[in-house]
Structure 1
Amino acid sequence: MNDIRPTRLPRTDARFPGLRRRGFLAATSGAVGLGALALAGCSSSGSTDTAAKGGGKPQRGGRLRAAFAGGGASETLDPHASNLFADVARAKALFDKLADYGADLSAQPRLASGWEAGAGLDRWKVTLRKATFHDGKPVTAQDVLYSYRRITDPKRAFRAKADLEPVDLEASRALDERTVEFVLKRPTAGFPNVLAAFGAYIVPEGAEQFDRKPVGSGPFRFVSFAPGKSAVFRRNTDYWDGAPHLDELEIVVANEESARVNALLGGQVEYAHELNPTTGRAHEGKGQIEILRLRNSGMQAFAMKTDRKPFDDRRIREAFFLIADREELVQGALSGAGEIGNDLFGKGYEYYADGLPQREQDLDRARSLLKKAGAEDLTVTLDTSPVAAGFPEAASIFRDQAAKAGVTIKVRTGSKDSYWTDILDSGTLCSYRSGAMPIETHLSQRLLTASTTNATHWRHKDFDALYQQAQSTKDTGQRTAVYQRMQRRLYAEGGFLIWGFADWIIGTARTVRGVETDAPANSLDWARFDKVWLA
C-alpha cells in the first residue's frame, strides 16, 4: 500500500485565480443540507445526454474538481454525520453502505451481496461481499454491527438513527465473518431500505476520528481535507467494484451558485453541482459547458397544515388543489425545467399510485367548495424563502392564481437560515420541496403521527395502522396495494399540494464523461465519481 501524505492547500491557490474575490471558497451559514432540502423526487424520464454520459472508451488519469455548496468550518468527514450534499459526495468517495438506492429508489446491494428474510419478516440475514478497507483489513460483520451501533448511540444525533430504529441491535449478531443476522423489533418487509438509509455507512470497528486520516472501503483514499474549502482523494486501486478512472478527485466548496458557474466557465472546476433553471437555460446547447439534467428529481409543493384553520377543513384543502395551475407553476417557477405533479410524492418510484386522474385547475369547483366551507373571502399567509430555487416565484404565481378564485394570499418571506425549522411548527401554508427517498420513507418521516418532519401535521391513527400493515406484508403485490390505498387518501384529503417535479441541474466541462443522468439526486449513481473520466 502506498504511503499517502496529506497535502495542505495554500491560502491562495494559483489554480483558482480570482475565486477568493468571488467568494468561491468562502463559507456561509446559509448552506442548505440534505435534511433541510430533502432533495429529490422522481426518476429520469429515461432519456439521457449521450455526450455527458460519454461515448467512447473510458480513459484513466487526471484530477476532477467538483464544486458543491458547503457548510464552512463545521464540515466533517464523519460519514454518519453527513448532511450537506458536499458531505455525502465526500462520504461516497471514502465509504460504502450495505445497500444504496437505485434509479427507482429501490434498494440495490453494495457491500451486502444479498439479503434474505425470515418467514416472519422480523429476522434478516445479510451476506457481505469480499471487500477491504483502505488499510487492507477485510470488511466484516463486526464492522457492520459497530457502525450501526455507533449511528444509534442515544448520545449522538446522526441522521440515519431514525431509519435504523426498527433494528434490535442488542439481539442482532454476527453469524460468521461475512454474515449478519439482524433481529427487528417488528416485521418489516422494506428492511433493505434501512440498509440503504442516508448516512448508514460502514466504518471499521472502533473508528472515531475521521477528519485526519479516515479509513473506509470506498473507491477513493484520503489525501487531505480543509473544512469549508477542499477535500482531495486518490484512486483506490483495490476497490471491490473496480478502480476509479480518475487519479484524483477534489471536492471544493462554493456556496453561491454564481461562484460555481463562474468557476466552471473559467476552467477552475470541471463539475458544478445544483445549478438554477435560469442558468441551465442560459448555457444549454451553447457549446461552452455541458448542462446535464436529472429529470424531474425535486418534488415541488405547498404544504397545508391539516390541523389548523383554515386547512383543518378538507373542502378548503381540495379547493387549493383545484386552484393550482400546475403547468403555469412549472413554466414560471422552474423555467419549464420539470413536469407537473399530481399531489403525490415519488412519481415513477416503487409503489407510486399512477392510476389516479391528473388534477387540473378548476376555479369554479374551487369557488364552490370555498362557499360550502364558509370561506368565500378567505385570506391566507403563504410562507416562502429564497432558500430554494423557484420558491419565491412559485409563491407569487400561486398568489395570483388564488386571487382568481377569490382567495387572498399574503406572501411572507422567511430567513434562508431558519426556514426549514420554522415551517415545521409555525404558519399554516408554506413552500416545500423534497428529495430522493423511497415512498415508504416519505410516509414514515412525514406522514405518521410520530413523524419528526411532519410539515402538514397529518396525524391519523388509522393511517398509521395502514403503514404498519404495509410494512408487515410479505407479498409485494399486496404490499403495493396497501401503499396505494394510503396514497389515494392523501390525494383526496392530504396536506401536500404537489404541483411539480423539478429537474436537478448539473454543469460539467465538455471533457467530462460518465456522469449518470438516469438517477435522481441522493441515489447510488448521483455524485458517483468513481465512474467518471476525463476525455
Structure 2
Amino acid sequence: MSVTRRELLWATAGIGAAGALAACAGSKGGSGSAAGVASGSANEQPRTGGTLKVGALGRASAITRDPHGTQANESDYLIISLLYDTLTVPGDKTNTAARLAASWKPSEDLRTWRFTLADGATFHDGTPVTAEDVVWSLKRLRATPSGKSRLPGIQPEGIQAEDARTVVLVSDYANADLPLLTRLTTFVLKKDTKDDALAGAPGTGPFTLDWYRDGNARLVRNDNWYGGKVLLDAVEVRIFESPQAMANALLAGQIDVASNVGAVAARTAETRKDIQILRRPNDMAMPIVMRAADGPFADAKVREALRLSVDRDAMVKQVLSGYGTVGNDILGTGDPAYAKDIPQRKRDLDRARQLLAEAGFDTARTYDLITTEDIAGLAESATLFATQVREAGVKINVVKQDSKVFWDATWLKAPLYTSYWGTNDSVVFFASKTMLSDAGQNEAGWQEPSFDEAYRTAMATADEAARTTLLHQLQEIEYARSGYLLWGMADGIDLAGSAVRDLPRLPGYGRVQLEKTWLAR
C-alpha cells in the first residue's frame, strides 16, 4: 500500500494553492491563521477548561506512533498532529499559514527558500527548537519510502540550517509554491531521536501526552506553547473501527465529537437538535481514473465519452446523500485559483456515443471497474457509474477488491478504477502529485508535454496575476485531456455535541487543529 496515499486519506494534508507566494512575499508567512467557526451564539466568549472527547476512525492492527511513518489511522494522525507541529498549516485567509515556521522568503529565482522559526518555540521538555532539529526531521521524512513525493523536488542535500533559527530548502526547480509542501507531515522532533524512543518523544505542539493505550490517548494543554493560549484543559482521543459505532457513541453522549463520520451518520443526526452537523466543503475528491498511457481508454475521445455519460447530479444525490458538490473533472476545487469559469460538463449521451464510434471503441466488450470499500460511497459510486454509462453503450463490470490488493495490484496500473483523495484545496497539489509526466503518483499514466510546460512555467512565475492565468491554462488542459473523471466532491462531516465551540471548518489538515476549540459548559 502507498504510504502517502493512505496518509492523505486520513490526514487530508491539503497542500494549498496559488495564493501562497502573495501571502508570504513580504517575508511574513503567517498572514492567514488556522480557521475555526463558532457553533454557538455570537455573544459567547471563548472560555478555558474542560476535556474534549473526540472519536476518530482507526484499527488496532494499524496503530503507529511514528510522526513520519505510515499513519493508516485517523486517530493516530489526530494524536500526532496535536503533539507535533508542522512548519506551516492551512489558513482561513491564505492557503498557507504560519506554525513552527513564523515566516519564509524566496530567492529571486524561486528555488531557495528561507524559513525562520517561531520565537519561543520549545519542545515539551523545555529545550528550544533549533534549525538543526528541523533539518534532521525533514531529512528523516525525506528518507521514508514515500519521501520523494512528500517533499517533491527537494533532495536531502537541499535541506540545510543557515543559523540557529533559519532553515534553508533548495528546490530542483523554481517553485513559488514550495511553502505549501511543508504542510504535509513535516512534524518536527528533536535531532537524533531514536526509533525506539518515538513513543515518548517530546513534541512542540499545543498539547502534551498524558497517556496512550491501544490507540486511545489523553493529551493535556501545553501552557508553554509558542502559538498562544490553548483553551481546552485536555483532549481525549478514542479510536473507533466504524463510523456508525462512533456516531452511536456521540448520540449516546459518550464523546463530544465524531470526526469525519460521513453522510449516513449525518442523516441520522438531522433530527437531533442537541447535535451539531459541521460540513467541510471540498474535503474529499472521488474521481474515476481512466488509464491514458495504454489500453482501452488511451484514446482521449473515449475518456471524453465517459465523462459525457455521467449524470453528476444523480451521483451526488445518491452516493453522497446530497452532502457534496458536483465536479467538473478538475481536481482542486477548493483552490482560490480554481477555474470556475470553465463550463460545467453536462451529460450528453448522443455526443458520447458519437465519440465512441469515432474512436472505434469496442462496445461489445465488458470492462472491469475496480473499486474498494475503503471509504463510504466509493463502491456505490462505481455501481451507479456503471449503470449510467451503460446508456451510452459501455458495459462495465464492478469489481470490489480488498484494500491491500487494490493498493498493491490495481492503483497506478489498472485501466479503470476508483480513487479518492482526502484533500481538494489545491490545483497545484494534484498537478505535481498525479498529473505531471514524471509524477511518482501519476494515477492515469498521463503524458502531456503541454501540461508539464504549463506547470513548470506557473511554478517559476512570481507575479500573482500572471501565475493565475497560467494555472487557468493548466486546468483547461486537464479538463480537456486528463485521465480523470471527477464527478463530485464529498463534504467532510463532523458531528458535535451542543457544548462544542469553534471546531475547525477548514478541509484537509486544517481540521485537526484544535487549540482554539472550547466547551461552553
Same fold (TM over 0.5): yes
What is the one-letter code of the residue matched to 1:216?
G
Hey, what does 2:67 align to over in structure 1?
79
SS in 2 for 1:463: helix
Give the structure-1-normalised TM-score: 0.86
The answer on 1:352 being equivalent to 2:341 is no
2:59 and 2:240 in contact (8 A); partners too: no
Change (3 A) 1:151 1:453: same
Hey, what does 2:475 align to over in structure 1?
487
SS in 2 for 1:97: coil
Q: 2:7 aligns with which of 34, 49, 65?
A: 34
Residue by residue over 1:401-453, the C-alpha shift from the partner in whole angstroms, topping out at 9 and shown as x without a partner, is 11221221111111134333433244321122212263222112111223222
Hey, what does 1:499 align to over in structure 2?
487
SS in 2 for 1:102: coil
Hey, what does 1:237 align to over in structure 2?
223
SS in 1 for 2:218: strand
Hey, what does 2:429 align to over in structure 1?
441
| Alpha-carbon offset, residue 512 of structure 1 | 1.2
Q: Aligned pairs, how many? A: 493
Please give the alpha-carbon distance, in whole angstroms, between the structure 1 residues aligned to 2:276 and 2:58: 23
Hey, what does 2:117 align to over in structure 1?
128
Hey, what does 1:16 align to over in structure 2?
none
1:105 and 1:438 in contact (8 A); partners too: no
What is the one-letter code of the residue matched to 1:127?
T
1:41 and 1:347 in contact (8 A); partners too: no
Q: 1:459 aligns with which of 447, 469, 482?
A: 447
Hey, what does 1:15 align to over in structure 2?
none
Residue by residue over 1:314-336, the C-alpha shift from the partner in whole angstroms, topping out at 9 and shown as x without a partner, is 11111111101100000010001
Hey, what does 1:252 align to over in structure 2?
238
Residue by residue over 1:465-518, the C-alpha shift from the partner in whole angstroms, topping out at 9 and shown as x without a partner, is 33222222222222333322222111111111101111111111222111122x
| Alpha-carbon offset, residue 281 of structure 1 | 1.5
What is the one-letter code of the residue matched to 1:78?
D
What is the one-letter code of the residue matched to 1:289?
I
Please give the alpha-carbon distance, in whole angstroms, between the structure 1 residues aligned to 2:205 and 2:70: 15
Q: 1:166 aligns with which of 143, 147, 153?
A: 153
Give the structure-2-normalised TM-score: 0.88
Gaps of 5+ in 2: 17-34
The answer on 1:399 being equivalent to 2:386 is yes
What is the one-letter code of the residue matched to 1:117?
P
1:323 and 1:363 in contact (8 A); partners too: yes
| Alpha-carbon offset, residue 103 of structure 1 | 4.7
Hey, what does 1:413 align to over in structure 2?
400
Q: 1:187 aligns with which of 174, 180, 184?
A: 174
Is 229-238 or 453-462 further displaced after alignment?
A: 453-462
Q: 1:147 aligns with which of 131, 134, 137?
A: 137
Identical pairs, percent: 32
Please give the alpha-carbon distance, in whole angstroms, between the structure 2 residues aligned to 1:105 and 1:433: 24
Q: 2:283 aligns with which of 297, 313, 328?
A: 297
SS in 2 for 1:150: helix
Hey, what does 2:361 align to over in structure 1?
375
Please give the alpha-carbon distance, in whole angstroms, between the structure 1 residues aligned to 2:167 and 2:391: 60
What is the one-letter code of the residue matched to 2:400?
T
| Alpha-carbon offset, residue 348 of structure 1 | 3.1
SS in 2 for 1:80: coil
Please give the alpha-carbon distance, in whole angstroms, between the structure 2 residues aligned to 1:488 and 1:37: 29
Hey, what does 2:29 align to over in structure 1?
none
Please give the alpha-carbon distance, in whole angstroms, between the structure 2 residues aligned to 1:306 and 1:391: 22
SS in 2 for 1:232: strand
RMSD value, Cα: 2.5
1:146 and 1:205 in contact (8 A); partners too: yes
Change (3 A) 1:319 1:171: closer
SS in 2 for 1:192: helix
Change (3 A) 1:321 1:105: farther
1:297 and 1:503 in contact (8 A); partners too: yes
Please give the alpha-carbon distance, in whole angstroms, between the structure 1 residues aligned to 2:180 and 2:118: 18
Hey, what does 2:28 align to over in structure 1?
none
Change (3 A) 1:100 1:150: same
Please give the alpha-carbon distance, in whole angstroms, between the structure 1 residues aligned to 2:357 and 2:152: 45
What is the one-letter code of the residue matched to 1:283?
A
Gaps of 5+ in 1: 1-31
Hey, what does 2:96 align to over in structure 1?
107
| Alpha-carbon offset, residue 121 of structure 1 | 1.6
